Amino acid sequence: MSKPIYILNGPNLNLLGQREPEVYGHATLDDVRDRAAIWAAQFSLDIEFRQSNTEGEIVDWIQEARSSACGLVINAGAYTHTSVAILDALLATDIPCVEVHLSNVFQREEFRHHSYLSSACIGVICGFGVKSYELAVEALAERLGAAAS
Ligand code: CA2
């Protein structure tokens, strides 16, 4: 069996669907996981889907992904805009990584316009809600050479 794609989610994303639906939509994080899994299956890829409110745990998971994953999708939440530690962890991985955001961060406050993580990623997808995750999985599948079924 081939290695899964790790899909890592940062702080407060466990609240998805419960607060701020006008910004993040009505889908829950379980819905995001289910849709990403279905999308990945089209490319015969499995996903390992996780969420943490702790920066160090996300760093640990990225380090784990170096040997256990074939690719990485990350929505680091607010750590996107603050975390050199997550950037360093991504720079230490050889597997392709895609940064995702549910909202269009460029239509929001100025502090959300800068990401510490983008330079370590093959691409960035934002603004499409849950679809952002599906697009990220598809982009990774193409980069990995996985064939759609
Ligand atoms: O748009 C995104 O996906 C973000 O990564 C979400 C982060 C935000 O800090 C980034 O700038 C953009 C915030 C995640 C918090 O999620 C919540 C979901 C529901 C209710 C409250 C927070």
Average pLDDT over residues 139-149: 89
Q: Tokens for 34? A: 């289910």
- Weakest-pLDDT range from 12-26, 47-61, 92-106, 120-134: 12-26
Q: Which of 6, 79, 101, 133 is catalytic?
A: 101
How far is residue 37's CA from residue 75's CA, in Å, rounded to a whole number? Answer: 16
Domains, the chain: 5-144 (3.40.50.9100)
pLDDT of residue 19: 83
Q: Say how many Å lie between the CA of residue 56 and the centre of ligand 1.
A: 18
Q: What are phi and psi of 147, to 5 degrees?
A: -90, 140
Q: Which residue minimizes the CA distance to atom 16 of ligand 1?
A: 13
- Weakest-pLDDT range from 16-20, 100-104, 131-135: 16-20
Q: Write the single-letter amino acid at 92.
A: A
How far is residue 5's CA from residue 14's CA, in Å, rounded to a whole number? Answer: 20
116 catalytic? Reply is no
pTM for the predicted model, two decimal places: 0.97
Q: Say how many Å lie between the CA of residue 13 and the centre of ligand 1.
A: 6
> Which ligand 1 atom is nearest residue 75's CA?
5
